[in-house]
Amino acid sequence: MHARKILPFLSTLHGYSLGDLRADFTAAFTVTPMAIPQAMAYAMMAGVHPQYGIYACMLPVIVAALWGSSRFLAAGPTNAISMILFSTMATVSVGGVLLSGLPEEARMPYIFGLALLCGLLQVGMGLARLGDLANYISHSVMVAFATGMAFLIAGSQIKAALGLPGAQPAGFFPQIWLAMRQLDQTNCWSLLLALQTIFLILVFSRCISRRFPSTLAALAIATLTAMTLDAQSKGVTLVGAIPSIVPPLSLPPALSLGLFKDLFMPALAIALLGAVQSLAIGKQMAAIKGDSFSGSQELIAQGLGNITAGLTSGIPGCGSFTRSAPMVTLGAHTRMGSVFSGLLALPMLFVLAPMISRLPMPALAGVLLLIAAQSIDPRAIRLCLVATRVDRAVLLLTFAATLVLHLEQAVLVGVLLSLILYIYKTSHPRVLRLRPNDPLLRNAPPDMPPGVAVYVIEGTLFFGAIHELERQLEEVDREPARLVLLHLTRVFWLDASGAHALEQFVERCYARSLPVILVVGGRNVRDILRRTGILDHLSSGFVADSMDQGLQLASGLLQRITCRGDVCDLPPAGQPQATSGPSSNLR
């Protein structure tokens, strides 16, 4: 049992049948041809050679699948992680030179070091049992970030799709501005190949089976078109030679304190974003089949996958929906489907390498432009815009941060906004004053005297709820309150600050000649109120177990209250007690 906890794939191998093998291998054989061109495109998006995206589809995918919690979650390069890599290379400098300005052989060790650091952070998160923290990232933040990423992807590929000259600037708005200024220098052949690729993918995906590798077929046709037209002589950039070799081992550069500081924030951003995406997709895949899912185990798996990527010349990645969903729809049975996909990537690399070297870059740009367009979910955006003002503000702020700030900063802004939103929602319990026709008051005594102010507190009872209660109590009403009845049976949590604030509220009410009756149905809340001494102040005559009992107590109490000017006699349970003006309190 202990071995299977450390090596979760042992439970899969136990009882693995020939039918499982056939189903997993068939799904992998269909998914891998679709995954390779995507990985190449994501590597190009990150600003590195496509071969490093292909390497990330091999051993890292196998390791993440073997140690993962979800049997269908397939890891690999993704658009969001690639964009953070691109942003990192455009902002982090070594010896005064940006990573993007270094030669490839000098730049890639830093990418591998980033993958290693990201993997170590994710493994640490998993060992610390932080797998459930992704639940606190709000839906609005994820929708905004996905939409912002789609814009960033599109902006980063406009130059390649149009065949514009010059270096690629960093940032969405500089890229758009460059494209507008150089629009008259568009290479028509590059634009033709990009549009042809987009058109063919759409036609193949809609007119042929979903199992058909539409992207791979479209890129193959684009390659033949470029060869027929001799596009390279017309200024069209090609991918270039890809070594048909087993992924070489790689090492990060010598670690120094300065380098650690420069790489830590991008690595943390990749780790957080990869964790959120992997856990969200993994939970979705597990829910489809009714499987159990451990977020912390999945974090460990994704971390091990990224560590493997850093040691085998791959770029970092995370759980990919475009790789995971086909595994389910194509009928894979176990995690071995993703393992076979990683194993098949190497022989496919040997077969496809000659074609890939002649692949036109505008065709890959067309793939990414299509991916960007398909990443925008208008229905989810509309839901966030119309739900609440808070969701709308979070959506717009995160979207703006994604376009304006560096991506690692935008990720942290999104996480921070999610935490603020969570704190805001939990720290603002609902405080409602019930009207006479409310269903909770249907059993009120028919001879109920006027002046009973009934309040219901829902959620967490702490000082913020008491402040909201006092604000409502101080509002001008047509009928002044003579007694306050607090319905606390919907309070699920009470802390010391809440108990103290409630005690002070009761004292202030008594100072204003307003008796308070508490309706406490929950045993836990009642125990806390008893331990803090509030029930001793009120005595049993001012504490009820249900709303009906509280209304009976209120009716009887109001009938015994007599007021002379600003002085009222408030009889406690048992013996009457005179209470007058602001000088009175519970003590």
pLDDT at 119: 96
What CA–CA distance (Å, rounded) separates 328 from 27? 9
Task: Report which of residues 401 and 216 the model is more confident about.
Answer: 401
Residues 6+ apart with CB under 8 A from 500: 463, 532
Report the percentage of the chain scoring pLDDT > 90.
18
Element (H, E) at 579: strand 578-580
Q: Which of 194, 200, 198 is nearest to 374 (CA)?
A: 198
Q: Give yes or no for residue 470 having a pLDDT over 90.
A: no
- pLDDT > 70 in the chain, percent: 87
The residues spanned by each domain of the chain are: 20-423, 430-583
- Average pLDDT, integer, range 361-378: 84
Of 175-179, 284-288, 478-482, the range with the lowest mean pLDDT is 478-482
User: If you write DSSP's letter for every residue of 56-104 in order, what string do you get?
Assistant: TTSHHHHHHHHH-S-SS--EE--HHHHHHHHHHHHH-EETTEEGGGS-H
pLDDT given for residue 471 in this prediction? 67
Interatomic CA distance for residues 407 and 412, integer angstroms: 9
- 512-540 as b/e: b if 16+ CB within 10 A: ebbbbbbbbbbeebbebbeebebbebbee
Alpha helices in 336-454 (DSSP H): 336-357, 361-375, 378-387, 389-404, 407-426
Pick from 490-494, 542-546, 582-586 the range whose average pLDDT is largest: 542-546
Give tens-digit pLDDT for 222-278. Answer: 999 999 988 888 888 887 777 767 888 898 887 778 788 888 988 988 998 888 888
CATH superfamily label, 430-583: STAS domain (3.30.750.24)
The pLDDT of 27-33, averaged and rounded, is: 80
Contact 579, 570 (CB under 8 A): yes
How high is the pLDDT of residue 135? 65
**Paired sense of beta strands 430-433 and 567-569, if any:** unpaired
What's the whole-number average pLDDT of the chain?
81
Q: What mean pLDDT do residues 305-329 have?
A: 87
Residue 427 pLDDT > 90, yes or no?
no
How confident is residue 585, by pLDDT bands cut at 50, 70 and 90?
very low
- Both structure tokens of 192: 């033709």
Check pLDDT > 50 for residue 67: yes
466 vs 563, which has greater pLDDT?
Answer: 466
Q: Which residues contact 527 (CB under 8 A, 6 or more apart)?
A: none
The rounded distance, in Å, linking the Cα atoms of 249 and 242 is 16
Give 292 or 300, the one with higher predicted confidence: 300
Q: What is the 3-state secondary structure (H, E, C) of 402-415?
A: HHHCCHHHHHHHHH
Tell whether the model's pLDDT for residue 580 goes beyond 50: no
Q: Which of left, alpha, beta for 567 (phi over 0: left; psi -120 to 50: alpha)?
A: beta
The residues near 342 (Cβ < 8 Å, ≥ 6 apart) are 57, 58, 59, 60, 61, 62, 65
Point out the least confidently predicted range of 59-63, 127-131, 490-494, 529-533. 490-494
Q: Say yes or no to pLDDT of 154 above 80.
A: yes
Residue 583 pLDDT class (50, 70, 90 cuts): very low
121 vs 264: CA distance, rounded Å? 10
Residue count of the chain: 587
Cα-flanking dihedrals φ and ψ of residue 360, to 5°?
A: -75, 135
409 neighbors 268 (Cβ within 8 angstroms): no
- At 520-560, the pLDDT tens digits run 877 777 787 888 777 776 766 688 888 888 888 888 877 76
CA distance 487 to 440: 10
> Does pLDDT of 436 surpass 80?
no
Confidence band for 196, pLDDT divided at 50, 70 and 90 = very high
Are the C-beta atoms of 279 and 298 separated by less than 8 Å?
yes
Provide the pLDDT confidence category of residue 428 given band limits of 50, 70 and 90: low
- The pLDDT of residue 110 is 92
Judge whether 198 and 370 are in contact, CB under 8 Å.
Answer: yes
User: Does the structure show a pLDDT above 70 at 573?
Assistant: no
Q: Helix, strand, coil: what percent of the chain each, to 5? A: 65, 10, 25
Pairing assessment for the beta strands 516-519 and 483-487 based on DSSP bridges = parallel
Q: Average pLDDT, stretch 448-469?
A: 73
The backbone region for 486, taken as left when phi is positive above 0, alpha when psi lies in -120 to 50, beta otherwise, is beta
From 113-127, 439-453, 572-586, the region with the lowest mean pLDDT: 572-586
Q: What is the mean pLDDT of residues 172-176?
A: 86
Q: Is the pLDDT of residue 296 over 70?
A: yes
- The pLDDT confidence band at residue 570, using thresholds 50, 70 and 90, is low
Token look-up 């591998």 returns 112
Q: What band does 111 get if pLDDT is binned at 50, 70 and 90? A: very high
Higher pLDDT, 545 or 133: 545
Write down the pLDDT at residue 109: 93
Average of pLDDT values for 171-175?
83
Residue 36: what pLDDT? Answer: 82
Compute the distance between CA of residue 534 and CA of residue 123 in angstroms, rounded to an integer. Answer: 47
pLDDT at residue number 426: 66
Residue type, 249: L
With a cut of 50, say whether residue 478 has pLDDT above it: no
